[in-house]
Amino acid sequence: MSNKKQRLLNPNTNPEEVLAVPVKQSDPVELYRPLRNLVTRIYSESNAEKVESVLETLNKCRSDMVERGDLSLPMQRDCLIHYFKCLCMVEPLFSDADSDADSDAIVFVWYDAFYSEHEGGVSSQRNSIQLEMAAVLFNLGAICSQIGASFDRTTALGRHLAMDAFIAAARFFMKLWEVHAKEVSATLDLSPLFAESLHCLFYAQALELKLQQQQNNNSSSALEKNRCAFLFESVSAHYERAYNLILGDSAAIDHVLAFDPTWITHLLKKGKFFREEARQRRSSILPKSLTHEPPFSSRLSCAILDHDAESVTEKLVRGTCRRLDLWIPKLEGWYLDVVLSEDTPFKIIDGRKLVANPWDMPPPYPTN
């Protein structure tokens, strides 16, 4: 087994396998002297003296990022965050360097994370900071994924910490996908397709851990069963999205198969398992007589609502559970939007009660 894969193994004997991403490798590059000379030439020596500390920190952070040494995973994460903040501060200098023919060239070289070290390298264009920022965001997501995989997820605390780390990884890959990956033409691991698939993967792993926490509550209420069924559905949707993104691109398939062929099988099995679990749990909530009823929206518009607030609530919950399979999962949770009109004569007020015929109350009507 290669050293790269050994670094990704979870040291805890946890039967629930999770995936983690290796970090990208880069060649060293000197930043302090070229940027300081640039500031002196374009602005003045006094301005160069003012930014010396920032440039020194920038150079030190990049050196630590490349060498890493004995830094722990959290320390590597903090170093990357600090370096990214410094890059944001000096980004205008690289624009000045592009327009200055006399400036010293700064060439960033990064290697594909899914290939062996120093294979598949790509050099940026002259003084291009976009590649550097995209690669740093990728490594932030990769480090957070490794942090999440390192926790003992057989304990409640370990699951909670791993879930937070996977959520952080998903957010870094989402930032890469939505912003920085679109501005670079580099290795495949920095493409929008890969960034989105990694975002979906680690959000799915975070939701899976949240699902384990919720199942440990041992609550038998209808609302908890409904939430559990939705989480199964959402986990499945994110695993399937990650799988379909890779499967829909021949280059991505070859890329993943060359790195670890079990990844594709893992995503496929996870998606199918949670999809089937979601169906079984929804069917256990719904009465068999209601499995072929019309869509929830049509049932709601023609229902004769009681003036008893609790009975109305029960009807809404039952209707929500019946048609959960038609809902599109949302990253921040799930919502029930009630359109207030004369055809739906009720509203939600404080205390989570539904009241019929409230039109004597002035708008706006609270719907939280």
Look at residue 312 and tell me if it is in a domain: yes
Provide the token pair at 95. 């624009």
pLDDT score at 249: 94
Give the predicted TM-score (pTM) of the model.
0.72
Average pLDDT over residues 354-361: 42
Rounded to whole angstroms, the Cα distance separating 166 from 158 reads 12
Question: Are both 199 and 312 inside the same structural domain?
Answer: no
Q: Calculate what percentage of the chain has a pLDDT beyond 70.
A: 67
| Residues 24 and 132 both lie in one domain | yes
Do residues 16 and 160 both lie within one domain?
yes
* Encoded tokens for 284: 């256990």
DSSP-assigned beta bridge partners for residue 347: 355
Same domain, 208 and 298: no
Contact 352, 368 (CB under 8 A): no
139 & 10 share domain: yes
Residues 6+ apart with CB under 8 A from 321: 222, 226, 229, 282, 285, 286
How many CB atoms are closer than 10 A to CB 238? 26
pLDDT of 124 reads 58
Radius of gyration of the chain measured on its C-alpha atoms:
26
Q: Does residue 46 fall inside a structural domain?
A: no
pLDDT at 1 (0 to 100): 37
> By the 8 A CB rule, do 235 and 277 touch?
no
Three-state DSSP state, 287: coil
Residue 259: which of 322, 187, 329, 204 has the closest Cα? 187
Domain closes at, from 188, 217, 246 = 217
244 neighbors 265 (Cβ within 8 angstroms)? no
In a domain, 319, yes or no: yes
Which residue type occupies 312? V
Domain boundary among 217, 241, 264: 217
Provide the domain count of the chain: 2
Out of 217, 249, 265, a domain closes at 217
pLDDT in tens, 168-213: 999 999 999 999 998 887 888 999 999 999 999 999 999 999 998 8
Q: Are 346 and 356 in contact (CB under 8 A)?
A: yes
Most confident of 220-229, 253-262, 307-316, 321-330: 253-262
Cβ pair 187, 124 in contact under 8 A:
no
Cis-peptide into 364, omega within 30 deg? yes
Tokens of 139: 């490594």
Domain extent at residue 116: 3-29+107-217
Residue 245 pLDDT exceeds 90: yes
Residue 155 resides in a domain:
yes
